Amino acid sequence: MINLLEQLQGEFNLSYMFIAHDLSIVRHISDRVGVMYLGRMVEIGSDLEIYEHATHPYTQALLSAVPVPDPVARESRDRIVLTGDVPSPANPPSGCRFRTRCWKAQERCAVEVPLLAVPSWLSGLAAHESACHFAAEREGRGPESG
């Protein structure tokens, strides 16, 4: 199905808006990727910017959960396991909607809505739009388990 969509795209010069939860399929088909959490766009960029240089903690958690077929690579990767339930979109948390599940959350996150913007302190492929007060490429381990 995906291959057929790509074939038709090439033949007729089409643009698609493709919405999915499976990030490996999204990467296969997309040139630009937007990540949403609780009804808000939290990060947007080219496929390379998002998949190799994600700066929003939610995107980083999603990417860490993408299935890896190679058992050796699977064993050595760092997973970010989010705790807590997804809040109700009808009554979202104040400030950053992701703060109740974010391991990087600080006081500012509860009072100030982070805007989708290119963080001035990031450069290169990490310098794409991210709605996080503390956007950064992932370093080391988060609150992972296996």
Binding site for ligand SF4 (CB under 6 A): 56-57, 96, 98-99, 102, 104-105, 109, 114, 132-134
Task: With beta carbons less than 8 A apart as the criterion, state whether 79 and 68 touch.
Answer: no
Measured in whole angstroms, the distance separating CA 18 from the mean position of its chain's CA atoms is 15
Q: How far is the CB of 91 from ligand SF4 (least distance, A)?
A: 17
Q: How far is the CB of 83 from ligand SF4 (least distance, A)?
A: 13
Nearer to ligand SF4, 53 or 133 (CB): 133
Q: How far is the CB of 109 from ligand SF4 (least distance, A)?
A: 3
Q: Which residues share a beta bridge with 36?
A: 41
Task: With beta carbons less than 8 A apart as the criterion, state whether 126 and 52 touch.
Answer: no
Nearer to ligand SF4, 8 or 36 (CB): 36
Q: How far is the CB of 134 from ligand SF4 (least distance, A)?
A: 4
DSSP notation for 2-40: HHHHHHHHHHHT-------S-HHHHHHH-SEEEEEETTE
Nearer to ligand SF4, 66 or 111 (CB): 111
Q: Which residues share a beta bridge with 43?
A: 35, 130
